[in-house]
Structure 1
Amino acid sequence: MQDMLQAWQQAGATLTLPGSGLQVYYRDIGDAGAAPADTALLMHGFPESSFSYHKVVDGLGARFKRVVLLDLIGYGFSDKPSADRFGYSLMEQADVALAVWLHLGLRGGHLIAHDMGDSVSTELVARAVAGMLPAGFDAGFQSVTFTNGSMVLGLAKLRVTQRLLLTRFGPSMTRLVNKKTFVQQVRSAHGTDALSDEDIDLMWAANCLQDGHRKSYLTIRYLFDRRRFEAARWLPALAATQIPIHLCWGDADAVARVEMAHHLKQQVCTSAALTLMPGVGHFCQISDPDSWLQAVLGYYD
C-alpha cells in the first residue's frame, strides 16, 4: 500500500509557491513540448489527491501527449498548513493550479476535473470569461470536462459528516475520524458497492499523509465558497463561456446526483455535451476506470 503511494510521490516533484513558501506536489507525464490541444490538466476532488487518477493516467496517454496532475493545498503530498497561512478558498486553489501550470510552461490544455476539482475549475472558467487568466496561459482551456461534483449545491446530498465539518464542531469532528468512519462515509457517498477494500485503503492512506485527515474541516471550506459565489459568479460563467464543456457523470452517485448533470445541461450550459456512465458511482475514476476512460475520451472522438 505505502509502496504504491511512495512510487507515485517519487515520480513527481514539488513547487515552492512564491510568497507563502508552501510546497505543492505535481506530476508532469509525457512530452513537455506537447501543444495545448494535446495536453490534459487533471484536477482532483475531496477528500482525494492526484493519486485518485492512478488507474487512468496510462489510458489518458492514448489520447494526450502530456498529462499534468497536482495535489491542491491540504491534499496528498502537498503542504497542509493552518488556516492562518492558507484560507482553503476555491480562489486560492485556482491560484495554486495556475502557479504549477505556469511553472511548467503550460500555455493551456484540456481541463478534466472531479468533485471539489469541479468547483476550482468553475472559478478558472469564470476567470477565462472575464479575461483574467495569466498572460502566459494564452492558449487557455481547450475544453473542460466536469465529472461528479456538487456544482449546484442545492441539489447535492451531503453526508452527515460533511455537514458537521462545516459547523463549529468541525475541528472536534476531525479528532474522531478514523478508518472505520472514513470507509462508511466513502461507501455511502459512492452510491454503489464497486469500490474495493484496496481502493478505500489507498484513499485512506493518501488522506492521512501529513495528518491530512485532521485537516478536513479546513479543506471542506470550499463549500462555503459555493454557497457564496455559485449563483453570482460560477453558474453565470458556465452559461456565458465559449469553452467547450463536457458533463461526464456516473449516474449512481449518491452525493452529486445525476439530477445535477441534467440540471446543468438543461438550465445552465445548454450547449454542453452530456455523457452518462450507467451504474457508476461518485469516485468514478477509481471504481470504474475503464468506463471513465471510455466516457471521457469518447468526447474527443
Structure 2
Amino acid sequence: MNPLVKDHVIVNGNRIAYGIYGEGTPVVLMHGTPSSSYIWRHVAPQLAEAGYRVYLYDLLGFGLSERPWDPAVDTSVTGQVPVLEGLLDHWGLTDFHLVAHDIGGAVALRLALLAGRMPRSLTLLDIVSYDSWPSPRTRQQMHEGLEKLITASDADHRAHFHDWLSSAVHDKAAFAEGAQAYFLELISNPIGQASLFQHQIRHYDPTHTQEVVPHLDRLGEIPVQILWGQNDEWQMVDWAHRLHGDIPGSALKILEGCGHFLMEDRPEEVTGYLLDFIGREN
C-alpha cells in the first residue's frame, strides 16, 4: 500500500504526517476512526486532477502520525482541533473547503463553531454527532469489557477487529481485497494494538459532539453538504436527517449501497458530489 502522507511537521510537539497534491483552490480532507488518510486514496487524486490543491493528514495518534507514549497527550476530538489549527497555519490556509468523515467531522465542527475558523464550505460524510457514538455495537462491546483486547494475542486482536472493519462497508468482498488489511495493520502489531485503545477508543465520548449542538444553526452562514451511506451500520442514516434539519440550507445526499466507509464503497460517486458541490461554491 502506498500512503498518501509523505511529509511531516511538528505540531505542538508531535509529528503529524501529511500530503499535498495538485494546484488551485485549497481542499482539506479529514479521516476518522479507525482509518487514516489512506481512505481518500481514490478521491484525492481526482480532486487534484480537477484543479484543486488537496491537503490531507493523519490525525494525531492515527495512521503514520505520531502515537504519543504520554497518556496526557490529548488525542480526543477536542484535542485534535489545535493539531488541525497548527496544520492550517503551517500550510498558510485561511480560506479553504473542508471535507470530513466520521470523527474528522466532529473535529471540523469544533474548528468552525468553537475555534472560530469557518471554512469556505463544509462537506460532512457519515460523521459522529450528538450522542450518536460510540455505535451501538461498540458501546455494547465496551460495556462487556472491550479493553481486555489490549492484552489479547495478536491473532485474537486481528480477528476481532477484522470483523469490526468489515461492518464499515457494504461491499465486504471488495474491501477485503482492497484496503482492509492496511487499515487492520495500522491498529494491530505491538504499537497499533495499544495505540488503538490509548489514542482512539478511550476517547469515544459524545461530550465532544454534544457541545457543538447549540451552535449548529451558525453553519447556515456557509454552504454545507451532508453525504451518508444508506447502509451505514455505525452511524445510522437517521443522524444524517437530524443534522440536515439542524443546519440551515444544508444539502443532503444519501448514497445507496454504501456503508460507513462510503469512500470505499462508492468513491466515484463521492468524488462526483464533491466536485459538483465545491465547484458551485468555489
TM-score by length of 1: 0.82
Structure 1: gaps (5+ residues): 134-139
Aligned partner of 2:231 in structure 1 is 252
CA distance in 1, matches of 2:66, 2:140: 24
RMSD (Å), alpha carbons: 2.4
The Cα offsets for residues 223-278 of structure 1, whole Å up to 9 and x where unpaired, read as 32x2x2433x3122222231221111111111111111111112x11321111111
Tell me the SS of whatever aligns to 1:159: helix
CA distance in 1, matches of 2:75, 2:105: 15
- Larger mean CA deviation between 59-68 and 249-258 belongs to 59-68
CA distance in 1, matches of 2:27, 2:59: 17
Tell me the SS of whatever aligns to 1:280: coil
Whether the 8 Å contact between 2:77 and 2:208 is mirrored in structure 1 is no
The Cα offsets for residues 90-143 of structure 1, whole Å up to 9 and x where unpaired, read as 222011011111111112211000011111111112135xxx34xxxxxx4011
Whether the 8 Å contact between 1:159 and 1:189 is mirrored in structure 2 is no
Whether the 8 Å contact between 1:191 and 1:254 is mirrored in structure 2 is no
Aligned partner of 1:202 in structure 2 is 182
CA distance in 1, matches of 2:195, 2:84: 20
CA distance in 2, matches of 1:275, 1:142: 20
CA distance in 1, matches of 2:264, 2:170: 13
Aligned partner of 1:110 in structure 2 is 97
The verdict on how the C-alpha distance between 1:240 and 1:221 changes in structure 2, with shifts beyond 3 A counting, is: farther
Partner amino acid for 1:223? Answer: Y
Whether the 8 Å contact between 2:101 and 2:126 is mirrored in structure 1 is yes
- Larger mean CA deviation between 147-156 and 48-57 belongs to 147-156
Whether 1:240 and 2:227 are equivalent positions in the alignment is: no
Whether the 8 Å contact between 2:150 and 2:194 is mirrored in structure 1 is yes
CA distance in 2, matches of 1:125, 1:61: 24
The Cα offsets for residues 59-117 of structure 1, whole Å up to 9 and x where unpaired, read as 11244420000111110111111353412222220110111111111122110000111
CA distance in 2, matches of 1:155, 1:95: 22
Which of 17, 28, 35 does residue 25 from structure 1 map onto?
17
Q: CA deviation at 1:213?
A: 3.0
Whether 1:148 and 2:126 are equivalent positions in the alignment is: yes
CA distance in 1, matches of 2:57, 2:189: 15
Tell me the SS of whatever aligns to 2:162: helix
CA distance in 1, matches of 2:223, 2:189: 36
For 1:36-55, what aligned pairs fall within 5 Å after superposition?
Answer: 38-55=25-42
Aligned partner of 2:197 in structure 1 is 217
The verdict on how the C-alpha distance between 1:186 and 1:60 changes in structure 2, with shifts beyond 3 A counting, is: same
Aligned partner of 2:54 in structure 1 is 67
Structure 2: gaps (5+ residues): none
Which of 68, 73, 84 does residue 71 from structure 2 map onto?
84
Whether the 8 Å contact between 2:187 and 2:195 is mirrored in structure 1 is no
For 1:131-146, what aligned pairs fall within 5 Å after superposition?
Answer: 132-133=116-117, 140-146=118-124
The Cα offsets for residues 12-63 of structure 1, whole Å up to 9 and x where unpaired, read as 2111123xx21111111123xx4xxx11101101001111111111111244
Tell me the SS of whatever aligns to 2:168: helix
CA distance in 1, matches of 2:149, 2:68: 18
Whether 1:184 and 2:133 are equivalent positions in the alignment is: no
CA distance in 2, matches of 1:168, 1:124: 34
CA distance in 2, matches of 1:47, 1:198: 16
CA distance in 2, matches of 1:186, 1:168: 19
Whether the 8 Å contact between 1:152 and 1:230 is mirrored in structure 2 is yes
The verdict on how the C-alpha distance between 1:63 and 1:78 changes in structure 2, with shifts beyond 3 A counting, is: same
Partner amino acid for 1:215? Answer: S
Which of 166, 175, 180 does residue 151 from structure 2 map onto?
175
Aligned partner of 2:7 in structure 1 is 13
Partner amino acid for 1:16? Answer: I
Partner amino acid for 2:232? Answer: D
Partner amino acid for 1:211? Answer: I
Whether 1:123 and 2:110 are equivalent positions in the alignment is: yes
Count residues with an aligned counterpart: 273
Tell me the SS of whatever aligns to 1:61: helix
Whether the 8 Å contact between 1:195 and 1:286 is mirrored in structure 2 is yes
Q: CA deviation at 1:171?
A: 4.2
Tell me the SS of whatever aligns to 1:27: strand
Identity of aligned residues (%): 24
